[in-house]
């Protein structure tokens, strides 16, 4: 299914976005590299068979307005809230990669009632956000590559510890694939698209059931899809 690409006025700006699907809303937010746009999410567009996927070009990127100075993550979050209001989205899941993850975090902190769950892929963050995240009780899936030198794995652990209702997925080293190197590791939606798609789909189907394992009992997942195993004490999510 090819997404529909549209443009809408948001305040003084024009925001370009792609959309497809008719289910519960899911907003996808790209990162900060100069040529990024909503198209970085093409490997995850099959989510449109279940969700109403909305993938905007953030301000300064793609076909959206390009101010002289690119708005920071706070301003981008405010733009997204206005965009969501314009599109009639009252509550949404959010999936952000790199800087887009930082924007998603800010959105969730500012308007927690408007967010159902978060998926953070090699997410950036602001140190000012970390203490605030302890109050964010949203199911969150955090995905990092083991060998990422741009958004390093230690950031994934910091985010996991800051968000009590979260789960960390660590994918295998990207640099083991001769086509890629560690500089590409944070572009997981491209270089690990099938894995990210599977993890996101599994998580978004039942987010509250897949988070908040006690850290002392948690074996860090190594890029394996989560699966449900029935046990006497109930359903427990384990790595396959």
User: Using one digit for the tens of pLDDT, what is the confidence trace for 78-119?
Assistant: 999 999 999 999 999 999 999 999 999 999 999 999 999 999
Whether residue 110 contacts residue 83, with contact meaning beta carbons closer than 8 Å, is answered with no
Beta-bridge mates of residue 52: 25
Is the predicted pLDDT of residue 214 greater than 70, yes or no?
A: no
pLDDT of residue 165: 94
Residue 151 belongs to domain with CATH number: 3.40.50.1820
User: Using one digit for the tens of pLDDT, what is the confidence trace for 148-189?
Assistant: 888 889 999 999 999 989 999 999 887 677 676 666 667 889
Pick the more confident residue, 71 or 213. Answer: 71
pLDDT of residue 183: 65
Percent of the chain at pLDDT exceeding 90: 69
Whether residue 102 contacts residue 123, with contact meaning beta carbons closer than 8 Å, is answered with yes
Length of the chain: 240
Output the CA torsion sign for 21, 2, 117, 227.
Answer: positive
Mean per-residue pLDDT over the chain, rounded: 87
pLDDT of residue 174: 76
Beta-bridge mates of residue 166: 140
Which DSSP helix (H) or strand (E) runs through 27? Answer: strand 24-29
Output the CA torsion sign for 53, 196, 199, 94.
Answer: negative
Number of domains in the chain: 1
pLDDT of residue 151: 85
Is the predicted pLDDT of residue 35 greater than 60, yes or no?
A: yes
**Residues sharing a CB contact under 8 Å with residue 84, sequence separation 6 or more, in sequence order:** 25, 27, 90, 92, 114
Cα→Cα distances 112→45, 46, 91, 240, Å: 25, 27, 9, 32
Interatomic CA distance for residues 18 and 12, integer angstroms: 20
What residue numbers bound the domain in which 35 lies?
Answer: 4-239
What values do phi and psi take at 209, rounded to 5?
-85, -5
Is the predicted pLDDT of residue 232 greater than 50, yes or no?
A: no
Q: Give 32-83 as a DSSP string.
A: -STT--GGGGGGGGGGGGTEEEEEEPPTTSTTS---SS---HHHHHHHHHHH
Is residue 85 helix, strand or coil? helix
Q: Structure tokens of 129? A: 């956000």
**Residues sharing a CB contact under 8 Å with residue 82, sequence separation 6 or more, in sequence order:** 10, 11
């Amino acid at each position: 299914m090819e997404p529909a690409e549209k443009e809408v006025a948001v305040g003084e700006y024009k925001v370009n976005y792609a959309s497809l699907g008719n289910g519960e809303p899911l907003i996808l937010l790209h990162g900060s590299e100069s040529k990024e746009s909503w198209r970085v999410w093409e490997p995850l567009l099959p989510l449109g068979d279940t969700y109403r996927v909305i993938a905007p070009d953030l301000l300064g990127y793609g076909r959206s307005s390009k101010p002289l100075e690119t708005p920071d993550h706070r301003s981008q979050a405010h733009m997204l809230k206005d965009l969501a209001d314009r599109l009639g989205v009252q509550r949404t899941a959010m999936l952000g990669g790199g800087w887009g993850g930082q924007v998603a975090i800010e959105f969730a902190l500012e308007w927690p009632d408007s967010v159902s769950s978060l998926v953070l892929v090699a997410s950036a963050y602001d140190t000012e956000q970390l203490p605030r995240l302890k109050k964010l009780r949203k199911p969150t899936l955090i995905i990092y590559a083991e060998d990422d030198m741009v958004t390093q794995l230690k950031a994934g652990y910091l985010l996991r510890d800051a968000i009590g209702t979260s789960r960390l997925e660590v994918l295998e080293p990207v640099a083991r694939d001769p086509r890629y190197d560690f500089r590409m590791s944070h572009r997981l939606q491209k270089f690990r698209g099938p894995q990210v798609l599977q993890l996101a789909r599994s998580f978004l189907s039942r987010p509250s059931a897949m988070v908040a394992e006690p850290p002392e009992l948690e074996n860090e997942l190594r890029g394996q899809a989560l699966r449900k195993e029935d046990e006497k004490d109930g359903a427990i999510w384990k790595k396959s």
